[in-house]
Amino acid sequence: MRVRNRAFFLFLFLFSAPVFASADERRGDAFVTSSIAEPSNLIPFLASDSASAEVSRLLFNGLVKYDKNLKLTGDLASDWDIEEGGLVIVFHLRKNVRWQDGEPFTARDVAFTFRALTNPSVPTPYGGDFEKVVSLETPDPHTVRVRYKEPFSPGLASWSVGIVPEHLLKDADWPATGFSRNPVGTGPYKLVQWTSGEKLVLRANPDYFEGAPFIARVVYRILPEPTTAFLELETENIDSAALSPLQFKRQTGTPFFKTHYAKYAFPSFSYTYIGYNLRNPLFADKKVRKAIGLAIHKQEIIDTVLLGYGRAATGPFLADGWAADPAIGPSGFDPSRAKALLAEAGWRDTSGDGILDRGGRRFSFTILTNWGNTDRKMACEIIQKRLRDVGIEMNIQTLEWSVLLREFIGKKRFEAVLLGWQLSPEPDPYDIFHSSKTGPGQFNFVSYKNEEADRLMEEARRIFPEAERAKIYHRLHGILSEDEPYTFLYVPESLVALHRRFKGVEPAPAGIGHNFIEWYVLKNERKYR
Amino acid sequence: MKHFAKAWFLILAAVLLGSPFFAERAGAMDFSRILEPPSLSHFLGTDSLGRDLFARLVCGAGVSVGVSFLAVFISIFLGTLLGAVAGYFGKGIDKLVMGLTDLALCFPVFFLILAVIAVLGPGFWKIAVIIGLTGWMGTARLVRAEVLSLREREFVLAARALGAGAPRIIFRHLVPNAARPIVVNAVLGISSAILTEAALSFLGIGVRPPAPSWGNILNDARATLGVAWWLALFPGAAIFLTVLSANVLGEDIGKP
């Protein structure tokens, strides 16, 4: 009995030690991580690159944010009301929030940010989210009333955009380069040093409204080459890095790596797809698109390109999100059915060269993807081989990103593309699939048009309750899966290595970064002063 | 060294002749055998799609060497023509052509190629032509200098006295007598063209996949460097040996 008791106490001691550590004892150390690119701009609504978003997320807050389960929750707003049948959103702002220079945060800052977002001379990619706002009023310093032209449920999530201080930016000349390199936000960290091409250093904000973060400093080292980042990881010069599937599977098995790093894998917020130019007679027939989908062995791509770290995509929604219909599975691999569908559509090999033809035209097309992305190139090569098996010749062309977007996709000069979309927890796919978004430079570049889908997307924007929106999106998911304007290929996993000295890490649907301000390092394990 | 270089080119010639026989093998993927080290069945190993590296190197030789020969042919032809015309006629034409040459030399050629390919899209012929069109300046200067000294020689005066026109004098008398430096330049040009092609493919803008070239095999190796040394070593060695051999042979021909 005694022995067991002692063991019990020892057990209790060992596993609860972190809980006993007081807040002050947890404070300290630095988190050194790698960024694949240099942030372009730290003003939250001017930057569209992920490197900038990752840093500015620690410097600024929006009115709302996503919690670890990807539900919207308050950030600078403590809560909100939806009034007048969804026409008005009223945000109740937190009190006692201060900018990092000591000035109080008020509704005036929100109004200022809104004016900047809708100012035509401010080059922001997020302006579209606010087009439906008719007016924004600030009846008192802690209330913001936003009135919409019509009920617009995705509008709520758009208020996760970082709010900027009016008192520092009111006379700014956009794009306000001085502030973007020396930003002042309300966030848990403050930028203290930015050495171009090398690193950014952030220091904990002791007055953060949710409590000062435990990790005293965050350092982003710019390491564009994944191989270099991995070497830095192996020498413990960085604490965290995104890994390639090959690194994750084959290079992390050493005893050193296992004792020093924990590995995390979770579905990324993205999917990779083939998009067809539906204005091209080749792809106008649904049977042809479905045949291509059936001729592609998705699991083989996932196993080879991602080494199994991914899953088949079924639609344009987050794989485990509420908008996706879990009943819809991937299209499956069935080359004989693909051939039958192609024959039904009139494609036969009359010339005997192994490639199908119809009315004297061979079934040959070129797929475009961005150069430098090895995964996508490999996926193209595997697909090329599978399509050849059913009698379709697919050529591959890799193009520089900006040229691909501007010259080919923007002008609709393409037959098919293999690309990916990043997703946010707000599922509204209006910009990508609604028939009103097919203009030059708009995102429905495949020119998809389906009246029922249009109607569903419009309807889903008008209602707020998640359960009701989910029903509509489930229907839409089914239509997209049936029409196949895209062949949805795969959802890669995010693969991350993190140094084991960081405690308090809590994997969740949102990944591991959601509670970063609660991570800490025990005193005896600290590496940096 | 010289014999070694010749031997390497003989091997290359054999590889080029044999490459059509390897085309099928170079494209055959085996997903159960990705990234295997050299073994008896794949004696240089396999790549990340389970394709045989040896077969891909053999086919890649066709692309890498093919592009560079074509490019050198274009640049030597252009360079010789412009250099000879400038040297023979002198005066205004010389100033014009040499001015053009200096202008072309001022361009950061590699970035020009990058920009052109970014707009036109990559491809075997486009790359060969663009490398050729941007590599003629050295030859033009060299040929001009040769022609400047040759045109005062007695045999040229004799030809002119016999009533030969400028084209005949240039192509029958001047260019053949400047042949040696031209050939040396061509052989050296091959090595730089191979490197340029490799660099373009390394940046992922060379020939279209799945066609292999030494440069793009090397580029693919970057992602697997920590796991598959063979994917980087063998194409690197092939480029190295070819460039070295071309330089050795070029110097050897250049010796009087």
B121 has a chain A CB within 8 A of its CB: yes
Q: Which of A137, A169, A201 is the last residue of a domain?
A: A169
Other residues' Cβ atoms within 10 Å of the Cβ of residue A83? 12
What residues contact residue A406 under an 8 Å CB cut-off, 6+ apart?
A: none
How far A444 CA sits from the closest chain B CA (Å)? 23
A278 and A406 co-located in one domain:
yes
Are the Cβ atoms of A371 and B226 closer than 8 angstroms?
no
pLDDT confidence of residue B59? 93
A381 contacts on B by Cβ (under 8 Å): 29, 49, 209-210
How far A304 CA sits from the closest chain B CA (Å)? 6
Are the Cβ atoms of B49 and A398 closer than 8 angstroms?
no
pLDDT digit string (tens) for A379-425? 999 999 999 999 999 999 888 888 888 888 988 999 999 999 999 89
Question: Domain of A482: which CATH number?
Answer: 3.10.105.10
Is residue B77 scored above 60 in pLDDT? yes
Question: Domain of A258: which CATH number?
Answer: 3.40.190.10
What residues contact residue B254 under an 8 Å CB cut-off, 6+ apart?
A: B180, B181, B184
Q: How many domains does chain A have?
A: 3
User: For the residues A6-35, what does the mean pLDDT come to?
Assistant: 64
Question: Domain of A148: which CATH number?
Answer: 3.90.76.10
Percent share of chain A, pLDDT over 90:
76
Higher pLDDT, A49 or A529: A49
Is residue A3 scored above 50 in pLDDT? no
How far A314 CA sits from the closest chain B CA (Å)? 23
Asked if residue B163 belongs to a domain, the reply is yes
When CB atoms are compared, the residue of A244, A396, A400 closest to B223 is: A244
How far B210 CA sits from the closest chain A CA (Å)? 6
A250 and A354 co-located in one domain:
no
Are the Cβ atoms of A371 and B223 closer than 8 angstroms?
no
Asked if residue B245 belongs to a domain, the reply is yes
A384 contacts on B by Cβ (under 8 Å): 210
Are the Cβ atoms of A304 and B220 closer than 8 angstroms?
no
Are the Cβ atoms of A396 and B209 closer than 8 angstroms?
yes
B254 has a chain A CB within 8 A of its CB: no
Helix intervals (H) in A187-285: 226-234, 245-250, 255-260
Asked if residue A55 belongs to a domain, the reply is no
Note if the pTM is more than 0.90.
no
* Parent domain of B223: 53-254
Other residues' Cβ atoms within 10 Å of the Cβ of residue B21? 11
Mutate to test the interface with B, among A244, A250, A298, A371 (most CBs of B within 10 A): A371
A261 and A283 co-located in one domain:
no
Is residue A76 scored above 80 in pLDDT? yes
A281 and A396 co-located in one domain:
yes
A373 and A520 co-located in one domain:
no
A421 and A406 co-located in one domain:
yes
CA distance A511 to A162: 20
Are the Cβ atoms of B209 and A398 closer than 8 angstroms?
yes
B28 contacts on A by Cβ (under 8 Å): none
Q: How confident is the model at residue B120 (pLDDT cuts 50, 70, 90)?
A: confident
pLDDT confidence of residue A124? 83
CB–CB of B3/B236 below 8 Å?
A: no
| Residue positions counted in chain B | 256
pLDDT confidence of residue A13? 42
B208 contacts on A by Cβ (under 8 Å): 395-398
The mean pLDDT of chain A is 91
B226 has a chain A CB within 8 A of its CB: yes
A274 and A407 co-located in one domain:
yes
Helix (H, G, I), strand (E, B) or coil at B93: helix
CA distance A328 to A320: 12
pLDDT digit string (tens) for A486-516? 999 999 999 999 999 999 999 999 999 999 9
Please calculate the CA angle B218-A401-B70 and round it to the nearest 5 degrees: 50
Is residue A11 scored above 70 in pLDDT? no
Helix intervals (H) in A404-518: 430-433, 451-462, 466-483
CB–CB of A451/A476 below 8 Å?
A: no
Chain B residue nearest residue A299, CA to CA: B31
Amino acid letter, A305: V
Asked if residue A430 belongs to a domain, the reply is yes
Q: How confident is the model at residue A5 (pLDDT cuts 50, 70, 90)?
A: very low
Residue A118: φ, ψ to 5°? -105, 5
* Parent domain of A420: 270-492
Q: How confident is the model at residue A204 (pLDDT cuts 50, 70, 90)?
A: very high
Mutate to test the interface with A, among B30, B46, B47, B49 (most CBs of A within 10 A): B49
Asked if residue A15 belongs to a domain, the reply is no
Three-state SS sequence of A474-488 = HHHHHHHHHHCCEEE
Percent share of chain A, pLDDT over 70:
96
Q: How many domains does chain B have?
A: 1
pLDDT digit string (tens) for A419-462? 999 998 999 999 999 999 998 888 999 999 999 999 999 999 99
pLDDT confidence of residue A280? 95
Residue A232: φ, ψ to 5°? -65, -35
pLDDT confidence of residue A21? 60
Asked if residue B192 belongs to a domain, the reply is yes
Question: Domain of B137: which CATH number?
Answer: 1.10.3720.10
Interface of A with B (CB under 8 A): 226-227, 230, 244, 246-247, 250-251, 300, 303-304, 371-372, 374, 377-378, 380-382, 384-385, 395-400, 403, 407
Asked if residue A152 belongs to a domain, the reply is yes
A226 contacts on B by Cβ (under 8 Å): 223
ipTM of the complex: 0.80
A407 contacts on B by Cβ (under 8 Å): 119
Q: How confident is the model at residue B109 (pLDDT cuts 50, 70, 90)?
A: confident
Asked if residue A17 belongs to a domain, the reply is no
